[in-house]
A and B are shown apart, each in its own frame.
Chain A
Amino acid sequence: MSAVPLSRPSRAGLVREGGLVRGAIAGLGGYALGALLASALGSAKGVEDPTPHAVALGYALGVVGWIWGLGGLDGWLAWALGRERSEAPAAEGWRRYLAFTTDHKVIGVQYLVTSLALFVVAGLAGLVIRVHLAVPSSKILGVGDFNTAMGLHGTIMIGVALIAVVGGLGNYLVPLMIGARDMAFPRLNALSYWILLPAGLAIVASPLAGGFDTGWTAYPPLSVRGPLGQELYILTLVTVGASSILGAVNFLTTVMRLRAPGMTLWRLPIFVWAMTATAIIVVIATSALAAALTMLLFDRLLGTAFFDPRRGGDPLLYLHVFWFYSHPAVYVMAMPAFGVVLDVLPVHARKPLFAYRLAAISFLAIVVLSLIVWGHHLYVAGMDPRLHGPFMVLTELISVPTGVVFLAALGTIWLGRIRLTTPMLFALGWLSNFVIGGITGIFLADVPTDIQLTDSYFVVAHFHYTIVGGMIFGLFTGLYHWFPKITGRMYDERLGRLHFALFFASFNLTFLPLFWAGIHGMRRRVADYPPELAGVNLFVTVAAFAMAIATAVFLWNAVRSWARGPRAAADPWRAHTLEWRTSSPPPSVNFPTPPAVGAPYGYGARPPAGEAAGK
């Protein structure tokens, strides 16, 4: 720490050493190389327009070049070539966040900041949709632009929902909570973050390449015929999938092998259980998305016939493979947020987590059930009707473990000494949203009602209640709860409560009316609606802007408090999980010596056994 070189790296040094500059240069170089190669091959094979091929190969080599340029491959290359490698001095201060840093806490913050930036971009796309829909027969957007705005909003928000809690809070907290010094594979961890940036660039740039009309699900045959923007969508999602798989392998290995002495399975904080269950889903299911999108890409680029019925293919095949991942994916989004809420409630209610073991087992039950219910997305798609019944029953079974999670939350606050801090408010908001999201889900699991409600705004309202009401509320719960730990400073409680009040009210005012609009015939993904729904749509648009204002309050609070909020103590909430035993923010090694491990939720009258042992 003492001899920090005072001289700035020379210009040549910027290129020779890994970093953003070399990354950008090598990324562009890789892109050019791939594009040229594909163009040359394409014209040799007599392809009419090799642009899509050039973009695909260019993207692939561009990502490799980018990672190499950042210095992300140095460690592995040195190992493979058997070279001794002097570890480059780790960047210090804020520069850590702009480098291929392997500290899980830095990576967690990178994920969080990136997710919030994407959240804002996708939120703005959502506002564009709402502006267009404010009045019927709107001419504000052309139909193609409306579709692109909708696809961007959906796809980017799905990305945010997949990475914000898992990549952000998960990376930051899991090693701390189990008393480890880092993840099992720190370089792999950094890799799974940094490959996301080209993906983000590709999806944000897709409107320049004609956008895409399919929403975030990309059903063929439309997606096979769509413009180049559709291909950027495919490349983005394949990258996000690869990043998720690497991250999940890392989480599971970390939890399996790096728990501090004494951290038995039944002492794991419930957030770690949720992350573990989530990682199991990711490892099992995500490759199906890769397979579906690869077949789609091949149909577009190589002339394969997977989804082309004229040549023996089957579009329904795409739906099955796609939803085999994408239904479990909603639990990848939601379950870590369940974990956050169950972890935060005991701290602010001063009571042990109710039904801790049952909640953990429920997470594992959700893993199993989530993998066998994808067919409920296909009731009206032409799937064999004999499959309707089994998929309906299996889907409804999921309400048992999710109900247990809900009861664990309720039982925890029951007769607790509740402190209405901002994280607690968001956790309570999560509870009420979750009920609405869960109950309306039953109507979409049941075949007769789903056939009526398919592709209506009822579906839109339902999944916004689960993903915004569940996942985003969980994210805010966690962001406020761990803000002092991550930044070393306290957020502004008044602004936090204002954020909650505005966000909770405007969220419900935005999406509750949409159930009604859906039942009354408003079609999802359509740029227009019957004139009699004008009133409710104008109302919803206004409420959506209030959500934007609430988010602005949050961002203002976060930036301002991070810069000059009051210093936070190591354990401002008097919490028992291990991350609070470190300073705020924690030192780079986390725990110089193994921490004493006790029960995670021993709140209440008796001093917890673990704490007594630790003192």
Chain B
Amino acid sequence: MSAAAYGAHAAEPSHARTGVLLFIVSEVTLFGAFFASYFVLRGASAAWPPTPDLHRPDLPLVALNTLVLLSSSVTMQRAVAAVARGDRASSSRLLGATLGLGLTFLLVQAFEFSRNGFGIGDGVFGSTFYTLTGFHGAHVSAGLLAIGALLRRANLGLLGAANAGAAEAVSYYWHFVDVVWLVLFTTVYVL
């Protein structure tokens, strides 16, 4: 930091990037603890699901939903680039697309939950399934709130190259949530 920059403060977007990256470290532990619990409990049970009357969710719908969430990472990354080069129209459009894809993901997941023949109280199978997916869903929702704020600022013309760091910080978080989903999809649905 140069002497001229002394006193640069919270508005400094690069701080937000550092802060979000550090926060993600703690989020890794949060999901890590839930995944570890999942493997411990699953490893201790003879079959998975433990009782024959429980059925795991259908894969095709969830696989499609996974694609929806993954493509939202692509739009998000392109939105960050648009913000950085000061392209207001593209910023709004791409942030809107990310928001739409994220919402779609949550709606499809709600639909999937409504068709699952088991609840959170159905033994360790239901407990781990809904806790993991629920926590992930809560993180998607938090990310959508942040993306919504970015979109609003972009529409008002307040999201230019000067504070692209804010968009970038949100994008780190959003990509992280996507990666968690990939691990979740692989372990909870596929394996």
Chain A interfacial positions (CB closer than 8 Å to B): 79-82, 181-182, 184-188, 245, 248-250, 252-253, 256-261, 282-288, 290-292, 294-295, 298, 302-306, 311-314, 317, 320-321, 324, 589, 593-594
Contacts and interface: CB of A to CB of B under 8 A. Distances in A.
B74 interface: no
B27 interface: yes
A287 B124 contact: no
16 contacts: A184-B15, A186-B9, A245-B23, A248-B26, A249-B26, A257-B1, A288-B33, A291-B30, A295-B127, A298-B127, A298-B131, A305-B124, A306-B128, A311-B124, A312-B124, A313-B41
A244 to B, nearest CB: 10
B19 A185 contact: yes
A282 B26 CA distance: 8
Contacts of A185: 10, 15, 19
Given A184-B19, A288-B29, A302-B121, A321 B9 contact: no
B10 A187 contact: yes
Nearest to A303: B121
Contacts of A249: 19, 22-23, 26
Contacts of B156: 82
A284 B123 contact: no
Contacts of A294: 131
B187 interface: no
Interface residues of B, number: 47
A306 B127 contact: yes
Q: Which among B6, B33, B37, B145 has the highest number of chain A CB atoms within 10 Å?
A: B33
A284 B30 contact: no
Contacts of B18: 184, 252-253, 256-257
A589 B7 CA distance: 9
Nearest to A102: B10
A589 B6 CA distance: 12
A340 B152 CA distance: 46
Nearest to B128: A306
User: What is the interface of chain B mostly: helix, strand, loop, or mixed?
Assistant: helix
B126 interface: yes
Interface in B1-52: 1-3, 6-7, 9-10, 12, 14-15, 18-19, 22-23, 25-27, 29-30, 32-34, 36-37, 40-41, 44-45, 50
Given A253-B15, A312-B125, 16 more contacts: A81-B152, A82-B152, A82-B155, A182-B9, A184-B19, A249-B22, A253-B22, A257-B1, A283-B22, A287-B26, A295-B127, A304-B126, A304-B130, A305-B127, A313-B127, A314-B44
Contacts of A184: 10, 15, 18-19
Interface of A is mostly: helix
Contact of B149 (A80, A287, A314): A80
Contacts of B123: 305, 311-312
A252 B24 CA distance: 13
A317 B34 CA distance: 11
A314 B41 contact: yes
Contacts of A286: 26, 29
Contacts, number: 140
Contacts of A250: 19
Nearest to B153: A82
B33 A324 contact: yes
B158 interface: yes
Nearest to A310: B123
B26 A257 contact: no
A253 B26 CA distance: 14
A248 B26 CA distance: 10
Interface in B42-69: 44-45, 50
Nearest to A302: B120
A405 to B, nearest CB: 25
A85 to B, nearest CB: 12
Contacts of A182: 9
A30 B40 CA distance: 37
Contacts of B128: 306
A312 B44 contact: yes
A97 B19 CA distance: 26
A552 B126 CA distance: 53
Contact of A287 (B3, B29, B45, B50): B29
B33 A287 contact: yes
A195 B184 CA distance: 31
A589 B1 CA distance: 18
Interface string B126-140: 111011000000000
A304 B120 contact: yes
A476 B152 CA distance: 49
Contact of A306 (B2, B45, B124): B124
Contacts of B34: 291
A304 B121 contact: yes
Contacts of A256: 18
Contacts of B14: 257
Contacts of B2: 261
A291 B41 contact: no
**Which 5 A-B pairs give the minimum distances between C-beta atoms?**
A303-B121, A291-B33, A80-B149, A304-B127, A287-B30
A284 B41 CA distance: 23
A489 to B, nearest CB: 29
Nearest to A309: B44
A249 B25 CA distance: 10
Contact of B9 (A181, A282, A288): A181
Given A82-B153, A82-B156, A311-B123, A257 B15 contact: yes
